[in-house]
Amino acid sequence: MRIVSGGVQHETNTFSKTLTTLADFVRDSNCGELLAGGETIFDRFRGTGSIHGGYISGAEASNFELVPLLCARAQPSGLVEAKCFDRMLSWFLERLNREKPFDGVLLDLHGAMVSEQYEDAEGAFIAAVREAVGVEIPIVVTLDLHANITARMAELADVIIGFDTYPHVDMQERGHEAAELIAKIVRREVDPVQEFRQLPLITLPPKQCTLRDPMQELMARVHEMELEPDVVTATVAMGFPFADICDTGVSILVTTNGDAELAREKADELAGCLWELRDELQPELTTIEDVIAHVNDHCDAGLVIFADGSDNPGGGAPCDGTIALHAMINAGFEGGAVGVIFDSETAAQAHRAGVGATIPVRLGGKTDDLHGTPIERDAYVRALSDGRYTYRGPMMQGVQDNLGLTATLVVGGVTVVVSSQRRQCFDAEMLRIAGVEPTGLRLLVLKSAVHFRADFGPIASRIFDADTPGIHRPDLSAFDFHHVRRPIYPLDSQTVWRG
Ligand SMILES: [Zn+2]
């Protein structure tokens, strides 16, 4: 049995003005290495906490040959340029046609990609693959928990399997599950029947977290359901709210073994559960001033984290926001750090000056005027790094990544890790390679909404979801939506849903 695999991964924040180009995919796919497919994918992902890590282990467990075609990914940002999308799709299709015959297709997609020409870019991608392989070849798709799944995607794929976790610590498991399932479909041991439900509901990152209730409890129900006879897999996709497209929001998929009635019943049950939770899923936000006061009132509390999700690069934000840093400097706060601020200009300046130098910086706030103004003052260069690291925490464990030239500065008494690549700080290793030990801090500002909880959660005494402005702010009243279907909760408070 031969199964081809791959895809294009992008989470598109339509409120970002930064167009995503082929150069971004080349840079973020390990300098283009992953665009080549083939052996590179095995070398890079075997044994790691990644989707392809799971495809590889699943292929070994199910005894089939995996043929990776393309593994393109770019950091979340604005719309994907039309010609970039077309180019990557045509690469994938050329290789797909070259590898024929094969028995199935595993697609590694995100589910919230928007290109200049397609609101539902994954729908367009799966449609092109379906057209190329015909109706007989099974297509199993893995998607992020933040997928805005459309009816078109669900129709075109035999099965869609979404992550069950946020932080996304089950990528390898879901990839493995997809690989084992496609082998069973090819061997005719499973006859998948998939049912899709879309809810008139948008939810926001802080409460989409599956380490907290109500999501923790809901996912326990999903896992129970997956153990029931003839239920093959169930997905609750919470959606990516910062994409102003028709299909933004929450959806459900249940796949059974040949039982359409059961699939409908179970999909309705999960959709009903989620709808009941709609008010509990709305986050509570705290200002940096209130958090500074809290830390000062609880001197021996240990590490407090200010989750600055509004500037989360993992959802397309600039990662150079300065609101919290300004406030900490103004308050004369000591024992605080910010990780990671993306500012390649300042990182390079620090590398030129060297460790121990004091340099006049203009730090952060450069991408746009929505995330605070640059910090203009002297900074002490405490440490320098080449920015290379391996994820050690539960998410993407074993995957190598790169912050680019990185500088650890002390600015107005606050330690700031400054990178040359835009990365979400969700693994303590990203600070440790810069000489910052998080357990020794009183207050840590992280440019992350939820993912940081996997690695930093166990060492934090308290976590606050930030009340800061930005294009990833978990507060829908901060955005003008023009394209999302209406009515939808909570934009329309009177929204009703009857299943
Ligand atoms: Zn996600």
Residue-wise pLDDT tens digits, 395-435: 999 999 999 999 999 999 999 999 999 999 999 999 999 99
Ligand 1: centre distance to CA 261 (Å)? 31
Give phi and psi for 257, each to the nearest 5. Answer: -90, 90
- Does the structure show a pLDDT above 90 at 33? no
> What mean pLDDT is predicted for residues 11-19?
96
**Residues 6 or more apart whose Cβ sits within 8 Å of residue 246:** 119, 483, 484, 485
pLDDT at 170: 98
> Pick from 143, 151, 164: which is nearest to 119 by CA?
151
Ligand 1: centre distance to CA 356 (Å)? 39
Ligand 1: centre distance to CA 383 (Å)? 32
Verify that 237 and 294 share a domain, yes or no. Answer: no
Ligand 1: centre distance to CA 11 (Å)? 8
Q: Do residues 312 and 448 touch, judged by C-beta distance below 8 A?
A: yes
CA angle 261, 264, 265 (to 5 degrees): 85
Ligand 1: centre distance to CA 55 (Å)? 19
- Does the structure show a pLDDT above 90 at 30? no
Q: Quick one: how far is CA 268 from the chain centroid?
A: 27
Residue bearing tokens 């075997």:
46
Verify that 14 and 158 share a domain, yes or no. Answer: yes
* Tokens, residue 153: 């995607």
Ligand 1: centre distance to CA 146 (Å)? 5
Verify that 196 and 249 share a domain, yes or no. Answer: yes
Ligand 1: centre distance to CA 499 (Å)? 26
Verify that 245 and 297 share a domain, yes or no. Answer: no
Ligand 1: centre distance to CA 117 (Å)? 23
Where does a domain end: 216, 241, 276? 276
What is the pTM for the complete model shown? 0.96
Ligand 1: centre distance to CA 474 (Å)? 14
Verify that 37 and 85 share a domain, yes or no. Answer: yes
In a domain, 499, yes or no: no
Q: Do residues 166 and 186 touch, judged by C-beta distance below 8 A?
A: no
**Distance in angstroms (rounded) separating the CA atoms of residues 327 and 403:** 25
For the chain, what percent of residues have pLDDT higher than 90? 98
Ligand 1: centre distance to CA 118 (Å)? 20
Q: Give CA separation, 421 vs 75, 113, 171, 229, 270, in Å.
A: 10, 21, 23, 47, 39
Q: Do residues 82 and 117 touch, judged by C-beta distance below 8 A?
A: yes
pLDDT band with cut points at 50, 70 and 90 for residue 301: confident
- Does the structure show a pLDDT above 90 at 300? no
> What mean pLDDT is predicted for residues 224-253?
98
DSSP type of residue 459: G
Ligand 1: centre distance to CA 377 (Å)? 36
Ligand 1: centre distance to CA 290 (Å)? 29
**N- to C-terminal Cα distance for the chain?**
40
Domain count of the chain?
2
Verify that 257 and 292 share a domain, yes or no. Answer: no
In a domain, 489, yes or no: no
* Tokens, residue 9: 């991964």
Identity at 283, one-letter amino acid code:
P
Tens digit of pLDDT for each residue in 90-131? Answer: 999 999 999 999 999 999 999 999 999 999 999 999 999 999
Checking DSSP bridges between strand 400-402 and strand 388-390, what pairing results, if any?
antiparallel
Where does a domain end: 235, 255, 276? 276
CA contacts within 13 A on the Cβ side of 281: 26
Ligand 1: centre distance to CA 147 (Å)? 7
Q: Do residues 289 and 427 touch, judged by C-beta distance below 8 A?
A: no
pLDDT at 489: 97
Verify that 7 and 51 share a domain, yes or no. Answer: yes
- Residue 467's beta-bridge partner residues? none
Ligand 1: centre distance to CA 163 (Å)? 8
Q: Do residues 254 and 260 touch, judged by C-beta distance below 8 A?
A: no
* Tokens, residue 477: 């009243």
Verify that 192 and 61 share a domain, yes or no. Answer: yes
Verify that 181 and 152 share a domain, yes or no. Answer: yes
Taking CB atoms within 8 Å and a gap of at least 24, the contacts of 25-29 are 25/72, 25/73, 25/74, 25/84, 25/88, 27/74, 27/421, 28/73, 28/74, 28/75, 29/71, 29/72, 29/73, 29/74
Structural domain that includes position 362: 288-473
pLDDT band with cut points at 50, 70 and 90 for residue 325: very high
pLDDT at 175: 98
Q: Do residues 342 and 327 touch, judged by C-beta distance below 8 A?
A: no
Burial-class residue 372 by CB neighbours within 10 Å (0-12, 13-18, 19+): buried
pLDDT at 299: 80
For the chain, what percent of residues have pLDDT higher than 70? 100
> What mean pLDDT is predicted for residues 54-82?
98
In a domain, 257, yes or no: yes
Q: SS3 for 442?
A: coil
Ligand 1: centre distance to CA 469 (Å)? 21
**Distance in angstroms (rounded) separating the CA atoms of residues 496 and 275:** 10
Verify that 313 and 214 share a domain, yes or no. Answer: no
In a domain, 465, yes or no: yes
In a domain, 370, yes or no: yes
Q: Do residues 365 and 374 touch, judged by C-beta distance below 8 A?
A: yes
Ligand 1: centre distance to CA 271 (Å)? 20
Ligand 1: centre distance to CA 352 (Å)? 36
In a domain, 491, yes or no: no
Q: SS3 for 313?
A: helix
Ligand 1: centre distance to CA 451 (Å)? 9
Q: Do residues 426 and 308 touch, judged by C-beta distance below 8 A?
A: no
Ligand 1: centre distance to CA 272 (Å)? 23
In a domain, 484, yes or no: no
**Distance in angstroms (rounded) separating the CA atoms of residues 427 and 23:** 26
Q: Quick one: how far is CA 28 from the chain centroid?
A: 14
- Does the structure show a pLDDT above 80 at 262? yes
DSSP type of residue 485: -
* Tokens, residue 378: 């002297």
Verify that 264 and 367 share a domain, yes or no. Answer: no
**Residues 6 or more apart whose Cβ sits within 8 Å of residue 458:** none
Verify that 134 and 182 share a domain, yes or no. Answer: yes
Ligand 1: centre distance to CA 85 (Å)? 20
Ligand 1: centre distance to CA 136 (Å)? 31
Where does a domain end: 237, 255, 276? 276
